[in-house]
């Protein structure tokens, strides 16, 4: 009954925000990719509207198991966490990921904390909205779609020479540019956090490959996995199995959308980007 109600509620021609890209699989499943800015109020609204309109079977977000805690924390706690980068956190990051990856993680946190402090807004609001909205849709699964962050850091560090590491760390340590909420909304076409990172890593193409391009491939792979056909409930074991196309909503930073589109019809092998 709940499944029938969900199907009736699902809009055949959904009215979607302009930030949504629609992709199809070979077996007829639909994937709606919402491109977001990680510090944006209107991104949160876009996510809510898309999930309500299409009533998905799966919601996939650009998070991994190492960052899933941000789904359960409230904005106040997250703001406090982001502003308090101390020696204890640094030691914990180094213990978990090794010296260079741990330092890289803390430097990225510093970028995030800088934006947080300037805007008074915690990151990942669109993922928390996706989590809340998905829980209201009957039979909707919630998947983490990003590559584990220690793998990304390990590969990013390996891609840089010693002097490139020093230069990147220097750039991250001395952030002071003021940022307004208008800046964030203007960055809807290219997420603010990713834009700041892109400016710093622009001269390091290998770093761009590991932090952006490889994750585009991983996110595409996870979206395609989520979009496999769904088996309908059966009244008895003897009844033949029936499958229907899936409807998936992906919530990712705007900077990843072109890469996902580019990789969508390719055969993807993620093993080589997981080492």
Q: Where are the domains of the chain?
A: 2-273
Token output for 275: 């080492």
Residue 179 is predicted with a pLDDT of: 61
Q: Averaged over 134-156, what is the pLDDT?
A: 91
- Give percent of the chain above pLDDT 70: 74
Please say if the pLDDT value at position 250 is more than 70: yes
Please say if the pLDDT value at position 176 is more than 80: no
Pair 99, 157: CB distance under 8 Å: no
Residue 251's DSSP bridge partners are: 34, 61
Residue 40 is predicted with a pLDDT of: 80
Please say if the pLDDT value at position 85 is more than 80: no
Q: Averaged over 220-235, what is the pLDDT?
A: 93
Helices (DSSP H) in the chain: which residue ranges? 2-9, 41-54, 75-83, 87-97, 99-119, 125-134, 149-158, 162-173, 181-186, 192-201, 205-208, 214-226, 257-263
Pair 123, 112: CB distance under 8 Å: yes
Token output for 17: 């925000």
Please say if the pLDDT value at position 8 is more than 70: yes
Mean pLDDT of the chain: 83
* Strand stretches in 25-104, DSSP E: 30-36, 58-61
Q: Averaged over 113-124, what is the pLDDT?
A: 70
Please say if the pLDDT value at position 199 is more than 90: no
CB contact set of 2 (below 8 Å; sequence gap of 6+): 138, 139
Residue 188 is predicted with a pLDDT of: 47
Please say if the pLDDT value at position 258 is more than 80: yes
User: Strand 247-253 to strand 30-36: parallel, antiparallel, or no bridges (unpaired)?
Assistant: parallel
Phi, psi of 45 (to 5 degrees): -65, -40
Please say if the pLDDT value at position 154 is more than 50: yes
Residue 189 is predicted with a pLDDT of: 47
Kindly tell me the sign of the dihedral angle through the C-alpha atoms of 170, 256, 73, 114. Answer: positive
Pair 6, 225: CB distance under 8 Å: no
Please say if the pLDDT value at position 80 is more than 80: no
């Amino acid at each position: 009954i709940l499944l029938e109600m969900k199907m009736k509620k699902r809009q055949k021609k959904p009215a979607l925000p302009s930030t949504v890209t629609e992709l199809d699989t070979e077996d007829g499943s639909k994937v709606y990719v919402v491109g977001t800015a990680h510090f944006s109020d209107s991104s949160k609204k876009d996510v809510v509207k898309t999930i309500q309109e299409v009533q998905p079977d799966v919601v996939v977000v650009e998070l991994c198991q190492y960052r899933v805690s941000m789904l359960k924390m409230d904005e106040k706690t997250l703001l406090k966490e982001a502003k308090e980068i101390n020696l204890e956190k640094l030691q914990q990051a180094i213990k978990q990921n090794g010296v260079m990856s741990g330092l890289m993680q803390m430097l990225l946190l510093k970028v995030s904390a800088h934006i947080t402090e300037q805007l008074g807004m915690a990151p990942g609001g669109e993922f928390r909205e996706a989590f809340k909205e998905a829980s209201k849709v009957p039979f909707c699964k919630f998947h983490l779609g990003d590559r584990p962050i220690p793998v990304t850091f390990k590969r990013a560090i390996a891609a840089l020479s010693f002097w490139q590491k020093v230069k990147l760390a220097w750039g991250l340590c001395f952030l002071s540019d003021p940022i307004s909420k208008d800046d964030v909304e203007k960055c809807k076409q290219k997420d603010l956090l990713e834009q700041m990172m892109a400016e710093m890593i622009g001269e390091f193409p290998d770093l761009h490959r590991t932090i952006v391009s490889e994750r585009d491939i991983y996110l595409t792979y996870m979206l395609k996995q989520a979009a496999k056909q769904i088996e309908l409930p059966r009244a008895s074991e003897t009844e033949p199995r029936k499958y229907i196309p899936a409807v998936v909503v992906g919530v990712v930073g705007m900077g990843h959308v072109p890469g996902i589109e580019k990789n969508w019809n390719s055969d993807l092998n993620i093993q080589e980007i997981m080492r």
